[in-house]
A and B are shown apart, each in its own frame.
Chain A
């Protein structure tokens, strides 16, 4: 049964991919949805058995690579962490499958789309169920590949091609870090199995490696490499530029890949390696700094984006920052809880955005929307639920995880990371709550509440989607309301033994009890900030206050933020173009076509005619010159006969003159 969770999406993918021509739109849709839904029900059963009943499974399928001490096998580990991820992935995936049946119904390539979605689900499942790093890497690369295929689904569009390549290449940077991490793990532990690594990491906590002449803690080095992998996949600051551009794919793809599953793989990796990261405070500090910077930067960039999906993409990026710095604060279970909750409300937001886009005939610019509350009341309600959950409105899903993360940042006394970093995370995290509320409600106002900016025909034609699209939306809406409350005690409740040994944090860094006893004012702070954000968005959008804001400074800041702080421009100017120029001018033109060709065939073919012309020019036709050569030849002959040693010198002198 456990393996069936994995194989069902693969079987569905192969069927719809290879037989899509014969199955047709309906057949391939039904097959794919049935496969993924079966997988979802089985993963519910797995969640019941493993998570609730506490029966951790590890299924050894077969041996894969056995070379010397390197033993890698195909074996699947189902512990609490894995089954939580399984439930998240399969639920979101099945709802997205169901949703895309109607969203993509007019697309001629629906079977291909379904096949890609399912292969993505399969690789994601491989990623989370692996019990060694190499098998995990299969899934890791597989989801990268699937994301390429899915972003590039409308392959005739140039923008889709570009952003798919960008996503793949930027991810590959992180993958390189991860593969270095795998090598470092194997060098340190002589094994890539999770069990071995995690059992040995306390022993290895003072084991130093020589890295480029520096002595560095092995666990720190491994942690940094794994973090580089997570930076690429989870779009942390530095390699985040691919995520907003990946919105070129169809909306269900954005919901599945860039909200719920693929970007969470990096965070999942960090949570999975909690027994290792716990022993390196350097890595935890890095996680806190990068995570909080990502949360702040992405939420700040989100506020003046005009693309409906791009706003949500930036909010994903920012929420991933929250998850990463929660990992850095050693609260892996909170991070995991936020991951699960975030999957629900972010998928809801994306799918509602898809519903809006669907209703408006693929119009994505928020400035050309407005007043859709009368046309799409249900979508409005669902989007509002999603936005409120995202801003951490009390008693919705986001409240239970996000506000708890923010409360955890308020404790700066007994941190295992430096207190400065704790304060850093606290400030940036709280500020990004404000921005999150602002852009969520700016989106709501621009799309649904403000007076209409779309054309008359568009509004007349727009309508609520049919039941096939509404079912996933409503289910996700219910999830966004209740999942946090239901899962709270199970995932992060005081003294819960749900995680068992799948998540480890040092007893000295377990301070969630202190978080419960914070001052009540501090506990209110995130709510007040998000309310402020909502109020500000309201003031700007539905009153006349914006008149006072439209001065040059405000416009400049708007422009800067709208251009994503020129991050892409800077990357292009300083990294991409110099690298491309280096590749073309130096390595291609100067080295490949230049030096090596000159020393090789091109150079020979150039030199030999010159030499032969020189030799033929020796025959001047002058008798005295011929005589000279005859005499010279005789002299040479005598030299060869009598003084063998001088011969070489003579020849070299001769060649030099020629």
Chain B
């Protein structure tokens, strides 16, 4: 049992949890953004672990870049969210179906 709890599995588990958090969430867009952040986190965690495991600096550089990208992304995302809330007064994910086919 304990041998399965290593860094790779933890990061993959984290990734899947965040994916499920996106799938199953029908209400709150903030939770969606949070799980997106968690996805970034799991990916950068995995990269860091790989760079240690392979003894290669590139992974850590990439994770640093992901951090900045994630920060920028979440700021832009939150900005869009705020604008959206200002226009429609609602941020329930279910009701965001203006582009319905």
Establish whether residues B93 and A622, one from each chain, have CB atoms under 8 Å apart when the complex forms: yes
Number of CB contacts from chain A to chain B under 8 A: 33
Q: A625 — nearest CB in chain B belongs to which residue?
A: B23
**B69 close to A (CB within 8 Å):** no
Does A618 have its Cβ within 8 Å of any Cβ on chain B? yes
A506 lies within 8 A of chain B by Cβ: no
Q: Is A616 an interface residue (CB 8 A)?
A: yes
A656 contacts partner chain B, Cβ-Cβ < 8 Å: no
| A620-658 residues at the B interface, CB under 8 angstroms | 620-624, 627-628, 631
Q: Whose C-beta in chain B lies nearest to the C-beta of A617?
A: B101
Cα of A248 to Cα of B2 in the assembled complex, Å: 107
B25 and A624 form a contact (CB under 8 A): yes
B23 with A621: CB separation less than 8 A: no
Q: Report the nearest B residue to A628, measured CB to CB.
A: B23
A600-623 CB contacts (< 8 Å) to partner B:
616-623
Residues A627 and B99 in contact in the complex (CB < 8 Å), given A622-B93, A622-B94: no
A621 to B101, CA, bound (A): 7
Q: Classify chain B's interface size.
A: 10 to 19
B97 contact set on A, CB distance < 8 A:
620-622
Residues of the A chain whose Cβ atoms lie less than 8 Å from the Cβ of B19: 631
Provide the residues of chain B in CB contact with A622, threshold 8 Å. 26, 93-94, 96-97
CA gap between A398 and B32 in the complex, in Å? 112
Q: Is B66 an interface residue (CB 8 A)?
A: no
A120 to B101, CA, bound (A): 74
User: Within 8 Å CB of B24, what residues of A?
Assistant: 624
Encode contact with B along A525-568: 1 for CB under 8 Å, 0 otherwise.
00000000000000000000000000000000000000000000
B86 within 8 Å of A (CB atoms): no
Complex Cα spacing A236 to B21, Å: 90
Contact B101 A624 (CB under 8 A): no
B81 at the interface (CB under 8 A from A): no
Chain B 70-101 interface residues, beta-carbon cutoff 8 Å to A:
93-94, 96-101
Beta-carbon nearest neighbor of B25 in chain A: A624
Q: Does B17 contact A (CB under 8 A)?
A: no
Output the nearest chain A residue to B22 by Cβ-Cβ distance: A627
Interchain CA distance A627-B29 in the complex, whole Å: 13
Within 17-76 of B, Cβ neighbours of A (below 8 Å) are at: 19, 22-26, 32
Check B100 against A624 for contact (C-beta < 8 Å). no
Tell me whether B25 and A621 are in contact (CB under 8 A).
no
The smallest beta-carbon distance between B61 and chain A, in angstroms, is 25
Q: A616-B101, A618-B101, A619-B101 are in contact. Are A624 and B23 (CB under 8 A)?
A: yes
| Interface of chain A residues 415 through 440 with chain B (CB within 8 A) | none
* Closest partner residue, chain A, to B26 (CB atom): A624
Residues in chain B near residue A619, CB distance under 8 A: 99-101
Closest chain A residue to B23, Cβ basis: A624
Closest beta carbon of chain A to B39's beta carbon, Å: 11
Q: How many residues of A contact B (CB 8 A)?
A: 12
Which secondary structure characterizes the binding site on chain A?
helix
- A388→B99 CA distance, assembly (Å): 100
- Least CB distance from A188 to B in Å reads 72
With a cutoff of 8 Å between Cβ atoms, the chain B residues found around residue A620 in the complex are: 97, 100-101
Give the distance in Å from the alpha carbon of A374 to the alpha carbon of B18 in the complex.
Answer: 120
Bound form: Cα–Cα A624–B26 in Å: 7
- Which of B22, B26, B99 is close to A621, meaning CB atoms less than 8 Å apart? B99
Shortest distance from the beta carbon of B37 to any chain A beta carbon, whole Å: 15
Give bound CA distance, A621 to B96, whole Å: 7
Q: Which residues of A contact B98 (CB under 8 A)?
A: 621
**Which residue in chain B gives the minimum CB-CB distance to A624?**
B23
A627 in complex: contacting residue of B23, B96, B101, CB < 8 Å:
B23
Cα distance A616–B100 when bound, in Å?
A: 9
CB proximity to B under 8 Å, residues A177-200: none
List A contacts of B25 (CB < 8 A).
Answer: 624
CA distance A631 to B22 in the complex (A): 11
Across-interface contacts of B22 in A (CB, < 8 A): 624, 627
Question: Which residue of chain A is the closest to B98 with respect to CB atoms?
Answer: A621
* Chain A contacts for B94, CB-based, 8 A: 622
Distance in Å: Cβ of A538 to nearest Cβ of chain B: 96
In the complex the two chains form, what is the Cα distance from A617 to B97 in whole Å? 12
Closest Cβ–Cβ distance, residue A616 to chain B (whole Å): 4
Most chain B beta-carbon neighbours within 10 Å: one of A617, A619, A621:
A621
* Nearest-Cβ distance from residue A609 to partner chain B, whole angstroms: 15
Q: How far is the CB of B23 from chain A (nearest CB, A)?
A: 5
Q: Which residues of B contact A618 (CB under 8 A)?
A: 101
Q: Which chain A residue has the least Cβ–Cβ distance from B101? A: A619
A613 CB to nearest chain B CB (Å): 10
A616–B101 CA distance with the chains assembled, in angstroms: 5
> CA–CA, A619 to B23, complex, Å?
15
Of B24, B93, B98, B100, most buried by chain A (CB within 10 Å of CB) is B100
Output the least CB separation between A569 and chain B (Å): 64
Distance in angstroms from A12 CB to nearest chain B CB is 80
Decide: A623 near B101, CB < 8 A? Known: A628-B23, A631-B19: no
Closest chain B residue to A623 by CB distance?
A: B93
Minimum Cβ distance to chain A for residue B3 (Å) = 26
A631: chain B residues within 8 A (beta carbon): 19
Q: How far is the CB of B81 from chain A (nearest CB, A)?
A: 12
C-alpha gap A618/B99 in the complex (Å): 12
Instruction: Report Cα–Cα, A624/B24, bound state, in Å.
Output: 7
Nearest CB in chain B: distance from A614 CB, A: 11
A580 to B98, CA, bound (A): 58
CB distance from A561 to the nearest CB of B (A): 78
A623 to B21, CA, bound (A): 12
A621 to B93 Cα, complex, angstroms: 10
B93 contacts across to A, CB distance below 8 A: 622-624
B96 contact set on A, CB distance < 8 A: 621-623
Report the Cα distance A466→B25, complex, angstroms: 110
Please name all residues of chain B whose beta carbon is closer than 8 Å to the beta carbon of A623 when the two chains form the complex.
Answer: 32, 93, 96
- Assembled-state Cα–Cα distance A616/B32 (Å): 25
A262 to chain B, nearest CB (A): 74
Min Cβ gap B18→A in Å is 11
How far apart are the CA atoms of A624 and B100 in the complex, in Å? Answer: 13
9 tightest Cβ-Cβ pairs between the two chains A and B: A619-B101, A621-B97, A621-B100, A616-B101, A621-B99, A627-B22, A624-B23, A623-B93, A622-B97
B interface vs A, CB < 8 Å?
Answer: 19, 22-26, 32, 93-94, 96-101
Residues of A whose CB lies within 8 Å of any CB of B are: 616-624, 627-628, 631
Q: What are some 8 contacts across the A-B interface (CB < 8 A)?
A: A618-B101, A619-B100, A619-B101, A622-B26, A622-B94, A623-B96, A628-B23, A631-B19
Contacts beyond the supplied A621-B97, A622-B96, A623-B32: 8 A-B pairs with Cβ under 8 Å: A616-B101, A618-B101, A620-B100, A620-B101, A622-B93, A624-B22, A624-B93, A627-B23
